[in-house]
Structure 1
Amino acid sequence: MRSLLVLVFLVFNSSVVFAAWDLNDVSYLMPLPTSIYSDHMLHLESTGARGVLLPAKFLSSIPPLTVINTQDETAKALRVIAVRIDPCFPLPTPQSCQRQIRLIWQPLEVGPRNRVQVTDASLHSFYLLNETDFKNLMNDLSAWKSKFKIQTQGLPLQIHPAWSRDGDNSVALAEFNGIVLKYAGLQNLMRVTAMVLRGTGDMWAFQGFTVNQGKLELMRIPRIDRFAQVFVNQAMPSDHFENGQINPAPAGDDTLNNVITDSGKFNSGFEDLLRKELRAMYRIEDPKSFNPENTDCVSCHVSQPARQWIMANRTDLGIDNIRQNFSYKNARYNLSNQSANLGNTQIIRAFGYFNSDVAISQRVINESAEVADSLNLMQQ
């Protein structure tokens, strides 16, 4: 009898552990495959219950992701390298929630020693779900997690532990991709955003599109009311900012327009200006203060490297006090950033890879914590 009670206790507690939502349960980073044309990774023409994931013809409406590859080459190389779920994407205001599953795409390429890496450009596709669909998605993900006995509790956001060992050959990855195809497709695709690479790898341009009757229509970017925004940083080596600019630059208090121009000018002095910009960086990274509907693309993507530069070079500013008062906090999760090369000022990737290194912004980590909180509350 006692053995039976112990068994019931263990089963019950195991189910509780596997049911809890943590960072890696809402934001999934894929492995880099062994081949740039891996069939184990989702691609543009992958098709499920709701149709093709992202029609290759849409690329003709989006600026070329790079100036090196043709549209056909890019379409062939694009793979889903990250997936995110969200029960309350703010559109058009924080009070108006949309349930979504989102896919992040990067083109694969052959790097040094014939290792697979990615191009520093990406697409982000958004798929709208109704309440029933989202609940079913949560149930499917919970069952998948339990089936493969995946432990995520207390882990920082990273390459998902379900496939960190077996890579793109993982059985868990194959079944996860099946879940994605069940809920994402052309039928519920509602938005696509793009980050394209220009210059000599030192210029990035951002645009967004809504999907209307099977066609892409340009979106205006918050805070600048324009259809495109560009960031430039010509620093070599990339441990500072040089000849930098945001064009067009947002106006207002929560901006970081100065330090990214030529950080060498800010090695001393400018204390009040830099404190103001550091406060803005922390606030931009806080999903309770800013969201994709009220901040511009570049500020969101560049806040982390700009903050890292100030933290490394201007310790005289009272950084601890600013961090304590303005940074996002959530003790329920491990918010540490496991990205390589956090000090690289040309890594402005939000969630994915830079060459072959994991690149995750603090903003994504913080957003993931908020989403995990929401899902845990929904299941109480």
Structure 2
Amino acid sequence: MFPSLPAIICIFNAFSFSHFQPRPERILLNQKPLQGTTNPMKLLMILLTSMAVHAQAAWDLNDVTYLMPLPQSVDGDSLLKLESPGRGGALLPVSMVNQLPVLAIDRTRPEVNSTLRVMAVRIDPCFPLPTPQSCQRQIRLAWQPIELNRRNEVETVDAALHSFYVLQDWEFANLLKEISAWKSKYSVNTKYLPLQVHPAWATEKDASPALAEFQKIILKYAGIENFSRVTAMVLRGNGDMWAFAGFEPRGGKLELLPIPRLNRLSQSFINMAVPADHFSGGGISPIPKGDDTFNNLAAESIRMGEGTEDTIREEVRAAFRIENPKFFNPENMDCVSCHVAQPAIHWVLNKRPELQVEKLWSQEIYGNPKYNLKNTSVEIWNTQQIRALGYFGKNVAISQRVINESAEVADFINRITAPKSEE
């Protein structure tokens, strides 16, 4: 049975954090020569320097992480559903989903199941299983229920599933080829764009032919045949409690997975703050212990006043490190810390700017000048917006951890697909 605190393993499928390090200005190819730099050799050196900093290979952020459009209707939308015919059967069978806790307690299971949609797709050449050194090729899908709000507008419920599909090396190589051909067919430009609703369907939304064809590619490679894991983020309380847990299919049944750093089967986060610009009334449970934790910030930020500066500095350092995929991965970080790191950082930046933590901990903050790491989320400051990848109501919600990890994934794919130099 699922423990009393329903939930989901935070699988970084959502990454988070804000990029504060300054990036060099881009040098345009049609830029006029600067005064005194008419020497062709000097101009060539300027160009080569620019290319070295902003070298854009074939794969960028929006080529490895795909945010779907918010559909224009609930019933007639064209986004992928639970029973969409994928590899070997349904994409995520209802029989599996029914073994999970219901995502939102004020909705029936059939209501949630019928409105679950794939709101994001991620491809990953090296998910750290069974070990970081011997990793899996994967497709991962982020699901959210959709509904009509009081204004008759489509929005999402603040709950999610995250399903995983393992590919063999040759299958992943073929997937990359098909995506490249799709991108070329629709003349999709992703170069140095921040992660956002994918430009291929940003205008036509779920009526986009490019979206329809992309989803066919995903259905070819993902389905019950290679389904390997699902995580759940469920909404409880007054919309101010979230619980997390992860599951693996074994013999047709879903079995709970231990949460990293805790060795527990579920974890929760409560934040009753009104307005949602601080933390109040709960925090993380159970709390992770040891280094790289920010339990005080996430519990009662009002207590983090004068005299607590050292604690704030150390805890925001932990949040910066948690959002940096070079320090942590989904197999060694607990769910809530992963999801709440971003609002914890922004609380410090907004409420205690005099501490200048982005300068103090610049070495802990992820940076990658090849990609645009700007966060396009609408309410990045909102301490109740802990979505990793998808939507918060009607608004795009992307954690910086997802952006940072997308950059790492793009780097990896660019390395393995780069033409080999002749010796």
Q: TM-score, with normalisation over the residues of structure 1? A: 0.94
Residue 283 of structure 1 aligns with which residue? 321
Distance (whole Å) between structure 1 residues aligned to residue 83 and residue 191 of structure 2: 34
Residue 108 of structure 1 aligns with which residue? 146
Which SS does the other structure have where 2:297 is aligned? coil
- CA contact under 8 A between 2:87 and 2:226: conserved in structure 1? no
**1:246 and 2:284 matched:** yes
**1:59 and 2:102 matched:** no
**1:200 and 2:238 matched:** yes
- CA contact under 8 A between 1:42 and 1:79: conserved in structure 2? yes
After superposition, the Cα gap between the structure-2 partners of 1:56 and 1:222, relative to the gap in structure 1 and judged at 3 Å, is same
Q: Could you list the per-position Cα deviations for residues 60-117 of structure 1 after superposition, in whole angstroms to 9, with x for gaps in the alignment?
A: 2111100111111111000000000000001143222100000000000101321100
Distance (whole Å) between structure 1 residues aligned to residue 224 and residue 76 of structure 2: 22
After superposition, the Cα gap between the structure-2 partners of 1:233 and 1:94, relative to the gap in structure 1 and judged at 3 Å, is same
Pairing 1:303-342 to 2, within 5 Å after superposition: 303-342=341-380
Which SS does the other structure have where 2:284 is aligned? strand
Distance (whole Å) between structure 2 residues aligned to residue 154 and residue 145 of structure 1: 15
Q: Could you list the per-position Cα deviations for residues 324-378 of structure 1 after superposition, in whole angstroms to 9, with x for gaps in the alignment?
A: 1210010000001010011110000000000000000000000000000001011
Residue 201 of structure 2 aligns with which residue? 163
- CA contact under 8 A between 2:138 and 2:165: conserved in structure 1? yes
Q: TM-score, with normalisation over the residues of structure 2? A: 0.84
Letter matched to residue 125 of structure 1: S
Aligned residues: 364
Identity %: 57
Letter matched to residue 367 of structure 1: E
Pairing 1:104-253 to 2, within 5 Å after superposition: 104-253=142-291
Q: Could you list the per-position Cα deviations for residues 224-279 of structure 1 after superposition, in whole angstroms to 9, with x for gaps in the alignment?
A: 10110000000011011111221111001100100111111113221111111111
Structure with greater helix share of residues: 1
**1:271 and 2:309 matched:** yes
Long gaps (5+) in structure 2: 1-54, 419-423
Residue 3 of structure 1 aligns with which residue? none
RMSD between aligned residues: 1.3
Residue 74 of structure 1 aligns with which residue? 112
- CA contact under 8 A between 1:267 and 1:314: conserved in structure 2? no
Long gaps (5+) in structure 1: 1-16
Distance (whole Å) between structure 1 residues aligned to residue 307 and residue 67 of structure 2: 40
- CA contact under 8 A between 1:267 and 1:313: conserved in structure 2? no
Which SS does the other structure have where 2:122 is aligned? strand
Residue 8 of structure 1 aligns with which residue? none
**1:26 and 2:64 matched:** yes
- CA contact under 8 A between 1:18 and 1:142: conserved in structure 2? no
